[in-house]
Chains A and B, each alone.
Chain A
Amino acid sequence: DGGITQSPKYLFRKEGQNVTLSCEQNLNHDAMYWYRQDPGQGLRLIYYSQIVNDFQKGDIAEGYSVSREKKESFPLTVTSAQKNPTAFYLCASSTWGASGANVLTFGAGSRLTVL
């Protein structure tokens, strides 16, 4: 089955540590995204990538970094510079501009808790 796999599902981090969240898709989608969701809030865009080896900052990129070395993979690193990293992180992918609209397919999410 095609889809998006995020791992780990739950992650605990001590203050000052960097952590990397994995996102892999086998949908052959060009574009990939990382969103952050806080309780009772909508999704906020962290980074997105339309093609391999290229990515752009979203609305809340500070304290985060990404790479896009392969079409299938878009890992997110939460660095120690992120002041409030405890949140639910969602990865998504889409075929950019297909059907004249951008419909996202989401992974199941990764919940990061800073101890």
Chain B
Amino acid sequence: SQQGEEDPQALSIQEGENATMNCSYKTSINNLQWYRQNSGRGLVHLILIRSNEREKHSGRLRVTLDTSKKSSSLLITASRAADTASYFCATPQGGSEKLVFGKGTKLTVNP
């Protein structure tokens, strides 16, 4: 039961550039989360945005949420090689708090 879908599937940029990845979901949600996964490791929570919020910042991360379009974006500004990872959006499944993850965007930041 895939809820969120990230776009693009893969993104390659140079250090210092901004990286934008998008997430679309199907049903109404009360929050949306972004996670990061380094190759072969577990996921790490980055940021959560609630349905009554339109934008949220955390360091170099900026997340937006458009509930009318059922979409979210994650912007990483001034990217670094260490940002190379896969990024996943996650949304609650139905009315529960079980999280459903998309397939992720694989970001490569070239030095």
Contacts and interface: CB of A to CB of B under 8 A. Distances in A.
**A and B interact:** yes
Interface of A: 4, 6, 33, 35, 40-43, 45, 48, 58-59, 88, 90, 92, 96-97, 100-109, 111
B103 A42 contact: yes
A42 B31 contact: no
A106 B44 contact: yes
Interface residues of B, number: 25
B42 A42 contact: no
A101 B48 contact: yes
Identify which of A33, A96, A109 gathers the most chain B CB atoms within 10 Å of its CB.
A109
B12 interface: no
A97 B98 CA distance: 10
Nearest to B44: A106
Contact of B45 (A4, A42, A45, A104): A104
Given A97-B97, A102-B92, A42 B102 contact: yes
B99 A104 contact: yes
State the main secondary structure of chain B at its contact with A. Answer: strand
Interface of B: 1-2, 30-31, 33, 35, 40-45, 48, 50, 88, 90, 92, 97-104
B44 A96 contact: no
B88 A101 contact: no
A104 B97 CA distance: 11
Contacts of B45: 103-105
Interface centre among A58, A97, A104, A111 (most CB of B within 10 A): A104
A41 B103 contact: yes
Contact of A109 (B31, B41, B90): B41
Contacts of B44: 106
A9 to B, nearest CB: 9
A42 B97 contact: no
Nearest to B48: A101
A4 B104 CA distance: 23
B1 A59 contact: yes
A39 to B, nearest CB: 11
